[in-house]
């Protein structure tokens, strides 16, 4: 059944024309009404060719049943987070970083992203609900509300002049809206077409996207390069030496350059480099480890009132943004660092404790047994952690083994002091394939 495939941990996603279509989105609109009874909502979308059609379907469901709808058009997911504070609920039609043949829906309510444990299960329950149309239709207002969001973001833009050129790639998608805020001639924007095209994958961490961005950076003589994903809630950074900076290194750089946050709590996901975690602790931060995933980190941010948080997937969370993630605010933090004459390459060196960082997916028929066998093969760790699978910590290496929710694989992230040691451990883990 469709409803069993489109409801994920953090949002709703599926292939357009198969699991996702306008009829499904009309029913989603009804399920949201039955679950939460909103009176006013705001909705926006990314730049996929089918996003507007899906927006119209949800608006139709909402309006037919008396809900007033504000359609703000193309916007970023963080933009919807911000605008939702003025409404009962915010809806964003997007499949984020997934391929262009996908689409989906993100939902925010009362300052909280709705995931499977915080409301999606309820919406799923009402997916096939039939509702009687209201005699009085809800008013539909098509109005660009982005200027409200721009005014809020403008306070974060550094006032100091930045001498070097910065390359910014929104991927012909939602992040294009931020060009309004960064107009200085030193900001070089590429892939800014608002007409739908397939020139760039929505996932900025894809190998082809990274290599193209490095080529553009060199050709345009830029110092660093920045890229958004499809709905502009994730950020990818390439440093002065054209190296991809791991997102946890970027998070560490931001934290270490905001002294006013010192002694505060920071949320990191379980895959975060131990080099980053140790440096943050030495600096005075209280580091709290969370499960991976937007709704889990958002929940941990609110629970601990953390000042900042980040994920190895490229999400950056701020208490000043109601604990939500915002890639644009992360960019302004980076620009502030550069405006003080510092560079990202040097700032990242402090985190390079390990000579080897590797990730691999291991196919397995029994994920629980796989984790059990890992403990047998790698005995006597100095620490073990059961958050998002299993993490084992030793003197010269550590790894996290995280079972996939959708595939028969366990995802391994490993750090080791030397390349030889890291490759040896990976070989041992790979021997367990299909066991």
Query: What are the pLDDT tens digits along the chain (435 aa)?
Result: 556 689 988 899 999 999 999 999 999 999 999 999 999 999 999 999 999 999 999 999 999 999 999 999 999 999 999 999 999 999 999 999 999 999 999 999 988 889 888 889 999 998 887 777 776 789 999 999 999 999 999 999 998 888 899 999 999 999 999 999 998 889 999 999 877 666 789 999 999 999 999 999 999 999 999 999 999 999 999 999 999 999 999 999 999 999 999 999 999 999 999 999 999 999 999 999 999 988 899 999 999 999 999 999 999 999 999 999 999 999 999 999 999 999 999 999 999 888 888 888 999 889 999 999 999 999 999 999 999 999 999 999 999 999 987 678 899 999 999 999 999 999 999 888 766
Q: How far is CA 38 from CA 83, 85, 110, 256, 326, in A?
A: 15, 13, 11, 41, 25
- ∠ CA 103-201-293, nearest 5°, is 60
* Statement to judge: residues 308 and 268 lie in one domain: yes
Same domain, 182 and 289: yes
What is the total count of domains within the chain? 3
| Sign, Cα dihedral of 164, 325, 415, 432 | negative
What is d(CA 58, CA 29) in angstroms, rounded to the nearest whole number?
5
Check residue 435 and give its pLDDT: 61
**Are both 365 and 417 inside the same structural domain?**
yes
> Which phi and psi (to 5°) does residue 130 adopt?
-100, 130
Name which of 184, 148, 141, 429 is nearest 331 in CA terms.
Answer: 184
Q: Do both 133 and 170 map to the same domain?
A: no
Q: Are residues 196 and 341 in the same domain?
A: yes
The predicted structure's pLDDT at residue 434: 62
The pLDDT assigned to 9 comes to 82
Q: Assign residue 293 the CATH number of its domain.
A: 3.40.120.10
Classify residue 253 as left (phi > 0), alpha (psi -120 to 50) or beta.
Answer: alpha
- Which of 329, 349, 369 marks a domain boundary? 349
DSSP assignment, residue 177? Answer: G
The pLDDT value given to residue 380: 95
Q: What is the pLDDT of residue 2?
A: 57
Asked if residue 407 and residue 321 are part of one domain, the reply reads no
Reply yes or no on whether 339 is catalytic.
Answer: no
pLDDT at residue 137, as a whole number: 87
Domain that holds residue 422: 356-430
pLDDT of residue 4: 67
Q: Is residue 89 part of a domain?
A: yes
Which of 317, 349, 381 delimits the end of a domain? Answer: 349
227 and 253, same domain (yes or no): yes
Catalytic residue among 51, 96, 348, 391: 96
Q: Which of 145, 166, 190 is the last residue of a domain?
A: 145
Same domain, 262 and 284: yes
Tell me how far apart the alpha carbons of residues 372 and 382 are, in angstroms, rounded to a whole number. Answer: 17
Evaluate whether residue 435 is within a structural domain. no
pLDDT the model gives residue 133: 75
Place of tokens 């980076």: 334
Q: Residue 213: inside a domain, yes or no?
A: yes
Domain-embedded: residue 21: yes
């Amino acid at each position: 059944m469709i409803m069993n495939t489109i409801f994920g941990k953090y949002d709703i996603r599926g292939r357009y024309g198969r699991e996702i279509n306008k009829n499904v989105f009309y029913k989603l609109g009804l399920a949201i009404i039955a679950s939460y009874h909103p009176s006013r909502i705001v909705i926006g979308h990314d730049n996929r060719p089918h996003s507007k059609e899906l927006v119209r379907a949800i608006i139709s469901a909402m309006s037919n049943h008396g809900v007033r709808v504000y359609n703000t058009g193309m916007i970023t997911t963080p933009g919807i987070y911000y605008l939702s504070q003025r409404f009962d609920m915010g809806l964003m039609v997007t499949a984020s970083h997934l391929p262009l043949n996908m689409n989906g829906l993100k939902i925010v309510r009362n300052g909280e992203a709705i995931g499977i444990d915080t409301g999606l299960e309820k919406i799923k329950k009402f997916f096939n609900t039939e509702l009687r149309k209201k005699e009085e239709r809800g008013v539909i207002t098509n109005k660009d509300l982005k200027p409200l969001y721009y005014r809020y973001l403008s306070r974060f833009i550094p006032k100091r002049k930045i001498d070097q050129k910065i390359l910014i790639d929104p991927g012909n998608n939602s992040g294009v809206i931020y060009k309004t805020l960064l107009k200085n001639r030193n900001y070089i924007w590429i892939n800014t077409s608002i007409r739908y095209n397939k020139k760039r994958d929505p996932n900025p961490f894809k190998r082809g996207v990274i290599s193209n961005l490095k080529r553009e950076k060199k050709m345009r003589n830029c110092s660093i390069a920045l890229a958004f994903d499809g709905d502009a809630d994730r950020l990818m950074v390439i440093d002065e030496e054209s190296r991809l900076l791991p997102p946890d290194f970027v998070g560490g750089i931001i934290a270490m350059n905001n002294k006013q946050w010192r002694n505060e709590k920071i949320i990191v996901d379980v895959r975060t480099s131990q080099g980053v975690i140790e440096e943050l602790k030495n600096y005075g931060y209280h580091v709290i480890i969370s499960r991976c995933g937007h709704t889990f980190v958002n929940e941990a941010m609110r629970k601990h009132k953390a000042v900042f948080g980040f994920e190895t997937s490229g999400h950056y969370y701020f208490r000043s943004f109601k604990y939500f993630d915002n890639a644009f605010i992360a960019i302004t933090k980076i620009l502030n660092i550069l405006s003080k004459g510092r560079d990202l390459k040097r700032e990242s060196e402090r985190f390079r404790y390990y000579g080897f960082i590797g990730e691999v997916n291991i196919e397995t028929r029994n994920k629980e047994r796989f984790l059990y066998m890992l403990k047998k093969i790698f005995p006597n760790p100095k620490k073990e952690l059961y958050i998002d699978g299993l993490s084992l910590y030793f003197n010269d290496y550590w790894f996290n083994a995280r079972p996939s929710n959708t595939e028969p694989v366990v995802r391994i992230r490993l750090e080791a002091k030397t390349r030889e040691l890291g490759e040896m451990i990976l070989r041992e883990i790979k021997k367990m394939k299909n066991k």
